[in-house]
Amino acid sequence: MKLFKYFILLAALYFLSACLGYRAVEWRIHFNDNFTGGTVTVTFEDLTSDELNLFSTPKEREPERRKQRIRAQKEQDFKQLLDSYRNDSFLLDGVEMGVYIKERRLFEKDGKLYGSFSGVFRKLIPESDLKLELTKDKIVVTLQNDAGVERIETDGRMVTGEETTTITWPKTTHLIYWKTVMKKENPGQSHSLVDEFRRWQKGEKFE
């Protein structure tokens, strides 16, 4: 659907750098009474800076040098995150796509950095990667299976096949929810950006 395609584009803005990652992404959709529109909130949990080829030589792997490189990479990634978060061009794109973004947030929760978008939509249009369908008596979400996903959490009924996972809710439901939790790959090489966020909140500039 165009709505989900749009938010996938927002995610791409968030993680344009291959060094930015997240632990999970959560979707909450609240339909209006006649299912002609509603609100959607997408939340990225535990935003991180991931090490990618930072230490290709023995000298770069020395403890102090490694610490300096990680700090520099985290600051660079957080600056990029801020730039994407504060950029208004995708707000205009959202209006063209039928989604009016009402709120953007970066916030700390349980010692981790989160980012979220909330918007209002009027029309859902089928899209290939992720489908949301409204039948006579059900709401149906179909997700393409991904090897990088550890699990999916939801308040709906979930059935996993070879290529897709389908989640259904009764049409009497107006608020639906699911969360995709990613696998933890390369433990120890993902670094939280919450310290940079705290410094930014205190007024430090990331130029």
Q: Which amino acid is at 146?
A: D
Distance, in Å, from the CA atom of 2 to the CA atom of 15, rounded to the nearest integer, reads 20
For 169-187, write each residue's pLDDT tens digit: 999 999 999 999 998 876 6
Instruction: Evaluate whether 176 touches 138 at the Cβ level (below 8 Å).
Output: no
DSSP code of residue 171? T
* Token pair listed for 184: 């933890």
Ordered by start, the domain boundaries in the chain are 2-123+179-201
Residues in the chain with pLDDT values less than 50 = 1-6, 9, 12-16, 126, 128
DSSP code of residue 204? -
- Asked whether the CA dihedral 137, 121, 25, 108 is positive or negative, the reply is negative
Q: What three-state secondary structure class fits 167?
A: strand
Q: What is the pLDDT of residue 86?
A: 77
Q: What is the pLDDT of residue 47?
A: 92
Distance, in Å, from the CA atom of 204 to the CA atom of 207, rounded to the nearest integer, reads 10
For 54-65, write each residue's pLDDT tens digit: 555 566 566 777
